[in-house]
Structure formats: C-alpha cells, structure tokens
Structure 1
C-alpha cells in the first residue's frame, strides 16, 4: 500500500494583475502545478481574465487577493485614496501601526472587491488573503472579518504566520518574521469569528533573478505546518505588469520551474499532494526534514 501523500496548498498570488501574470497562472492550474490562486479584482486586467478563471472553479481554490496598495479602488475611498490611487505599502503600514486606520477607512473597498469577485465568479471566494499581506493589519483585519461575517461566508483565511523554528528553517527568514509579527493574533481572531485558517505558511522570496531559484523554492517546503500554504508568484512579463508592480524578473523563473519536470519530481520525492484548501482536520502532521 502506498503511503499517504502530504496535502499542501500551493497558491499563486496576483491573478488579474496583468494579462501575462494571469496567463501564467492559468497554464499552471490547468496542469495541476498550483492548487489555488488569489484574484486582484480592482485591477483593470481582472474582468477580461475572470471568465477563464471561473472555468477552473472546483478544481483549484479561487480566492480574493484583497488589494489596498496597488492600483485604484473600485469606488470612493477618501481617507486612503483621496487622489483615486491606493497608497503605497509604507503609508498603509504607518497608518495601521499607529492606530490611525479605522474600519470605516477600508471596509467599503473590501465590500466592493468581494462584490466584484462574486459578480465575476458567481459566488463568494473559497478563501481570502491580501496583496502584501494587508489583510492582517490592524484596522483591516476587523473590517474584513466583519464584512465576511455579514455575508454568511464559510471559507478560510490565509494566516501568514508560522512557528519560529519553521521560519528559521527556510530562506528569507527575516522577511517571514516581519510578516508574522504584523499578523500576530490574526489566526485566533479568525477562529473566534467562526472561520478557518491555515496552520503553516511559507514561500517568501527575495524576488531576484539568478541561479539557485529552484533550490530556494524547494526549501520553502521545509518544516511544513499541520495545514500548510505555500505562496508563489509566477507569470509572464508584460508592460501592464511593469507599470503596476516591482516584482518582474522572478515571475517567469517561477513559471518555468513550477511547470518543469524537476518540480514534478520534487513533489513525488517529498510525498506532497497539491490541494485547493488547507487540511483543517484535527489531526496534525509532523514537520518533515529536507
């Protein structure tokens, strides 16, 4: 009898950011080399890319990649976007960490992005996370949980934290520690609100082009938590991407690697099975060394 394969969610962020990013994610989803993707519903490229994504419903997890730092809001947002442009991450962080970000500043845009997802997909998302992890920030997390609660939503939210030992075992530990710190208390808050969250999170990258990418990505699967999510950012480069996001050079590297025989062999060797959502059963898996 073959041993049970370890379930892990491999989630491609940023669907809809540009046509090239969406094409790359769709290509990987169709050959089962990713198992979930989060959509940026406020970006102009999303409506055209949405029908192809809707066709994958039921085969990969489809989520909202809540966006408060890129592009334009879907409606008026006087405090955060007085000029019609969402703020850079630094400004949003300063507001959130100083206590200056109120639920009323962000909830209208959360509602609009949820509505846009539902209109395009015909249903609410399977999960919600955030571009640059904004969904865990003070002032945002409460507004998000409230917006989901009133809709009777029953999906899961992405908790970007992990244990100290797991973070230390992987690349980009410093970045992972910072994000985990910003998200302290998020998982418990999610569960108090009646929702589920993953337990174990990785996939942090320096977003640089160069040798050693495959090894670094594979190291993201070290010390997986009991219900793990690994994020990735594959895609093709196009002018729309260059105009909106500084993460460019690494995306085609991720796309090529995830579609490669090497990645397929890695999944087989490590006994991993890509699944649309985290395994939320009460049993726990032990971290596996690499």
Structure 2
C-alpha cells in the first residue's frame, strides 16, 4: 500500500534514440522501475525501427510508462519536413540563434507547425501510436512563436496529450541563484498562459535542470529536485552510456553515465521513499 501523502511524479529520460548507448541505458532503467517516461528523438539517425520496437515492448508490459516526442529544432540535427528554413548546411540553426530569433519574432510558425506534424508522423510510423506528450530538445517548446505552433498542432491533432512546461516550484531565493532555471521560469509563464487558453494540458511543475558545465554531483542534486514538487510534476534526466554516436551529436556525455549510475543504484529508490515520492 502506498503511504499517505505520497506524490506520484513523472521521471522522464530525454533523448531516447540519440545514440544506441543512450537508448540501451534508458530501457534498462525503465525495466527496473527507475523511470516512468522517456521522450524519443525521431530526427536522430539511431532511432531505428528496432530501437522503437524495443521500447514499445516495454510499454506493453508497463502500462504506466509514457513515451513522448522530443521535438527537435536545433543543430546538429536535420528537419524531417520538406522545405524547412532557415537552415545552416542542411541542419537546424544553433540553440542561441533559434532562441534569439524566437524572442524577436523572426521565426515562421507555419514551418515550425509543419515540422512538428512531420515529426509526429515519423513517431507514429515507428511506434504505431501517437506520443503521450510532447517536450522539446533544449526546451524549444517554451520559446515564443515555437510554443504557439506546438500548442495549435496539439490542440487539433493530439487532444488527449500533454506538453511539458519548465516552471519550477522551488522557493524564489533558490530560483534567483540559478540563471538557466530563471530563464526557463520566465519563458514558462507565457507558455502556461497560452496552453491554458488553448485547452492543452501541462505538468504543474518541473525540475531537473542544472549547470552541465560545473562538474555537478547528480546524486547530491537530485533530492533538491524533489523539494516542494507537487504531484504530477516532471523531473527531467539524461541517463545514458557514452558511445561514438553520442559524441558526434551532443556535448552532454560523461554526465549521462553519472546520472545512470545514480538512478540505477540502491540509493535511488530509498531516496524516493524518504521523500514520499513514487513513479508507479
């Protein structure tokens, strides 16, 4: 029996499909009950039919498992839709350029909407069903203009799905000290307002963001993610095994193995029990 006051959260591993090592690590944690969600990156060359089938089999055995679309709009990945622009050497633009263009309203919302529809179609083709939710690689789903396109497509094509917002529930003093988190909080305020107006469901709070460049101790950070987190919230993580494919596509490498080690350890379920948090 679940103790009174226990909160159920969504612990989501991003980037399924970015490389074979990442996908293998995520499936291992799901099978052991250490994750209850993962978002798949259909633009990644390594998200093959075989990788999708392996994850789908897990979902059949674990009804609580949610599989989402990790909507991708930044380099070094390439679009799925025909005629997408702007591009740089046939790839999406870098993150900073994409965010800057969104902030000054220089993006084409219809092209973004078409790219989302194309990524949804690719997801459906590989998995055999539509995603349970949508989030964004490098949080693009909460950027101005991009969020409008995503919410419109979801309202029309995915009425039962939810979308990730990245606003935190931590005390104000803690939020101010985290510049990256503060930006996500700020962008998420407008995102939540738009989502509510359009009738698209979203998570009540978010955690899991940290400075990847500061040599962090993930095991020490994780308990802080759970502080003040309401039921139904999303905690983001990036477990994985480092391989050559990952090294060519993403700067986040060794930290993925640290996250995997903690989430797979005996200390992790004990921490959840201590904080009265469950994934099931």
Same fold (TM over 0.5): yes
Q: Do the aligned residues in 2 keep the contact of 1:21 with 1:236 (CA within 8 Å)?
A: yes
State the distance in 1 between where 2:216 and 2:155 align: 45
Which structure dedicates a bigger proportion of its chain to helix? 2
Q: Do the aligned residues in 1 keep the contact of 2:226 with 2:275 (CA within 8 Å)?
A: no
Instruction: Report the equivalent of 2:87.
Output: 81
State the distance in 1 between where 2:138 and 2:111 align: 18
**Among residues 233, 236, 252, which one is paired with 1:231 in the alignment?**
236
Q: Do the aligned residues in 2 keep the contact of 1:209 with 1:253 (CA within 8 Å)?
A: no
List per-residue Cα deviations over 1:166-208 (Å, max 9, x = no partner): 3644797221111121222211211222221111111112225
Structure 1 residues 184-203: aligned runs within 5 Å: 184-203=189-208
> For residues 152 and 65 of structure 1, do their structure 2 counterparts lie closer, same or farther at Cα, with a shift above 3 Å needed?
closer
> For residues 131 and 89 of structure 1, do their structure 2 counterparts lie closer, same or farther at Cα, with a shift above 3 Å needed?
same
State the distance in 1 between where 2:191 and 2:273 align: 33
Instruction: Report the equivalent of 2:167.
Output: 161
**Among residues 264, 267, 273, which one is paired with 2:269 in the alignment?**
264
Larger mean Cα displacement after TM superposition, 220-229 or 7-16 = 220-229
In the TM superposition, what is the alpha-carbon distance from 1:213 to its structure 2 partner?
Answer: 2.6
State the distance in 2 between where 1:169 and 1:222 align: 11
Q: Secondary structure at the match of 2:272?
A: helix
Q: TM-score, normalised by structure 2?
A: 0.91
Instruction: Report the equivalent of 1:36.
Output: 37
State the distance in 2 between where 1:98 and 1:171 align: 24
Q: Do the aligned residues in 2 keep the contact of 1:125 with 1:155 (CA within 8 Å)?
A: yes
State the distance in 1 between where 2:92 and 2:20 align: 21
Larger mean Cα displacement after TM superposition, 178-187 or 240-249 = 178-187
Q: How many residues align structurally?
A: 274
- 2:24 aligned with 1:19, yes or no? no
> For residues 211 and 84 of structure 1, do their structure 2 counterparts lie closer, same or farther at Cα, with a shift above 3 Å needed?
closer
Question: What runs of 5+ residues in structure 1 fail to find an aligned partner?
Answer: 276-290
Instruction: Report the equivalent of 1:281.
Output: none
Instruction: Report the equivalent of 1:65.
Output: 70
Structure 1 residues 1-290: aligned runs within 5 Å: 2-47=3-48, 48-57=50-59, 58-70=63-75, 71-81=77-87, 83-163=89-169, 165-166=170-171, 168-169=173-174, 173-208=178-213, 210=215, 212-275=217-280
Q: Do the aligned residues in 1 keep the contact of 2:13 with 2:236 (CA within 8 Å)?
A: yes
Q: Do the aligned residues in 1 keep the contact of 2:175 with 2:182 (CA within 8 Å)?
A: no
> For residues 211 and 116 of structure 1, do their structure 2 counterparts lie closer, same or farther at Cα, with a shift above 3 Å needed?
closer
In the TM superposition, what is the alpha-carbon distance from 1:214 to its structure 2 partner?
Answer: 0.7
Q: Secondary structure at the match of 1:38?
A: strand
> For residues 82 and 204 of structure 1, do their structure 2 counterparts lie closer, same or farther at Cα, with a shift above 3 Å needed?
closer
Aligned-residue CA RMSD in angstroms?
2.0
